[in-house]
Amino acid sequence: MLNIVVCVSGGGTNLQAIIDGVAEGRIRNTKIVGVISNNAGAYALTRAKDAGIPAFCISPKKFENRENFNQAFLAQLEALAPDLIVLAGFLVILPEKMIEVYRNRIINIHPSLIPSFCGTGYYGLKVHEAALTRGVKVTGATVHYVDEGTDTGRIIMQKAVEVLEGDTPEVLQRRVMEQAEWVILPKAIDEIASSRE
């Protein structure tokens, strides 16, 4: 059994895709042992609670400094003892120690075809705004391992999505989620879980 912790900051539609994937047997041999958010208002926390998954909020605002936040975050992860950490829209700079301790055991979903539109400053809608500004005809999503860089780790899976005439960032974001993110993130977790058997 692959025990996973999902880290989230916002709406949690990717978390929902993982919850549904496990429930429907598309993600095999996997248990979501916890969800951690840095944001108390994240709807993702409600999704976790509704699915009966232990949900935790560890907000940097509640700590005197970054080091104390990092320690609390790492302690929560350690308590949950995950085999794999899934960053699903988690907009926090990870403590360096976390990358060391969980090397090759952290994956991230990014809403573009890396190496396009990635790195510092490219997150959420900004990625799609940049894709539309550049005028690309194809974009997509990438699941990759997390290393010390921003979106630089080894690529696990990618899926292309067409950009259509008249797309707004919001419309494109939704299409990339539906056609790529919610497909490849569950698939990547299933493959990682299967490869461990």
State the residues that interact with ligand GAR by CB under 6 A.
8, 10-14, 44, 88-89, 109-111, 123-124, 127, 177, 181
Q: Which is nearer to ligand GAR, 134 or 196 (CB)?
A: 134
110 has catalytic annotation: yes
- Enter the DSSP assignment of 95: P
CB of 12 to ligand GAR, least distance (A): 5
Q: Within 10 Å of residue 78's Cβ, how many Cβ atoms?
A: 10
Nearest distance from residue 188's CB to ligand GAR, in Å? Answer: 13
User: Catalytic residue among 47, 110, 128, 144, which?
Assistant: 110
Ramachandran assignment for 113, one of left (phi > 0), alpha (psi -120 to 50 degrees), beta (any other): beta
Return the number of the residue (75 or 119) whose C-beta is nearest ligand GAR. 119
Of 106 and 127, which CB lies nearer to ligand GAR in the complex structure?
Answer: 127
- CB nearest ligand GAR: which residue? 89
Asked if residue 136 lies in contact with residue 112, where contact means CB atoms within 8 angstroms, the answer is no
d(CA 70, CA 77): 11
Q: Which of 77, 79, 120, 119 is nearest to 102 (CA)?
A: 77
- Write down the residue that tokens 């993110």 correspond to: 181
Q: How far is the CB of 95 from ligand GAR (least distance, A)?
A: 17
Residue numbers annotated as active site: 110
